[in-house]
Structure 1
Amino acid sequence: MTLHVAIQEVLKEKARPLRTSEIAGILNENGLYRKGNGSLIKAGQISARINNYPHLFTKLNGVISLKSSTGVPVKKIKKISMRRVMVDTNDNTPVLVEKLMKPKNFNSIPEVENKVPDRPGLYCIRIVNPKSLKPFLTKALLERGHNIIYIGLASKSLKKRFLGQELRAKGHGTFFRSLGAVLGFTPEKGSLVGKKNQNNYKFSKSDEQQIVAWINKNLIVNWVEVIDNLNIIENTLLKEYQPLLNLTGNPGRLIEVKQLRDECKRVARENAKY
């Protein structure tokens, strides 16, 4: 975890402005962030880091507070519910992020399968135990300090895109194809031959069933209903969290994931004419 993220976590937990000396003391005590040489964090280091992130923090008379969870000033919120958020403008982005990303809001897919709405929105997928993935993926998650493996958007229907395509193999969403690839599955040889789209490979029915069973056992999900600015919010989240299996727009995308997807395409295109 980086220092500025650790500072954010402290301010969120305390729910009040703090002096740099207080933040340093809390971090030295809870170990949320440790310096490479093992020495104690000083108030001056906190102050310097705050100055580097003016979009995240406010500093007034030596007291530090959060602007918002994403650096976007909080304005009037139109509608809020405990588990779902409906917004009409980007003004509510901080509320959306908090509701979407809060770990306690996540559930297994079988628990919420019948609750996914036929509405546009954003979704997030976490893995319960990172060690159930291949070692290089487990290592990447540990380095990132979270268990988030995918963040996506549904421009028309969460039920169709998020539940149907990404989690239930009904049309094969990007996440489902990536997950199948990193789990070691490959599509049927030549299955893309003659197809107009040479990227959307599909797994066999039996492999699909195995992947869905793995999803039910190992993943937890959450979503929020959103009307506008889906791409803006998604891009912000991708930059902040760098989910494991996102490729497009993810500054922390893993080349190994792309290589596994490319291998699936190669198998599915075999004998195809270009």
Structure 2
Amino acid sequence: MASTERDMAPDSGEVAIRVRDLSVAFGDKTVLDHLDLDVMRGEVLGVIGASGSGKSVLARTILGLVPKRSGVIELFGRNIDDLRENERRLLEQRCGVMFQQGALFSSLTIAENIQLPMRELLHLSPSLLAEMAILKLDLVGLPPDAAEKYPAELSGGMTKRAALARALALDPEVLFLDEPTSGLDPIAADAFDQLLLTLKASLNLTVMMITHDLSSLHTTCDRVAAIAHGKVIALGSLQDLLKHKDPWLRQYFAGERGRTIFADEITA
């Protein structure tokens, strides 16, 4: 069952990310087709969809890593198209990103990976950078001696935590997670979910999490958005989505694992 932190309501209905009429295409292939979505401040929003449905493209477009064809994206109430370059950079610093598989630089130590955003954007002494790296490691439950290791020397679960530490390097308000528990065994995945809930509560984070992990959806998410055909086809609580009539959604939750995980919601 979900923890106490999971039951906390999002903060006051304030929108952290607003997406309206968003279209993204690669050549002749339309990936997002006039999509609308709000991410509320203080919530964990899970984003689900079939492979290739545009989940990661949506997150990358919000972050400015993929160009949009049309539409409006607002972060913290500000249209990113209306911002000057320096204003946009400051706004982007309020967001942290954990990419799929961690995306740590293999030639850098874990400490150097965590320090990289700080070196680029902050003016900190070497001693303070070292101290900050240790603090971030402690925040995600990694020991200090992980700082001098290289990514190849870490287990899968430790790699995910190190990537999360880097995502938290600049103390973001919004955290983007792309398949954070993929490749982890059930014990490590459950530990990561509980860590996310603890960090959300203690740091007052807003989280947009792309995932295929049904257990993570059940444990961590306040709401879930389902993407298909380039649009959000369903948005709401797990109970809302479990009752939805869309054939893909019904199939998504109908497997044996889904019936086991969502037994309480299905019978509610």
Larger radius of gyration: 1
Give the TM-score normalised by structure 2: 0.27
Q: Which structure carries more strand by proportion? A: 2
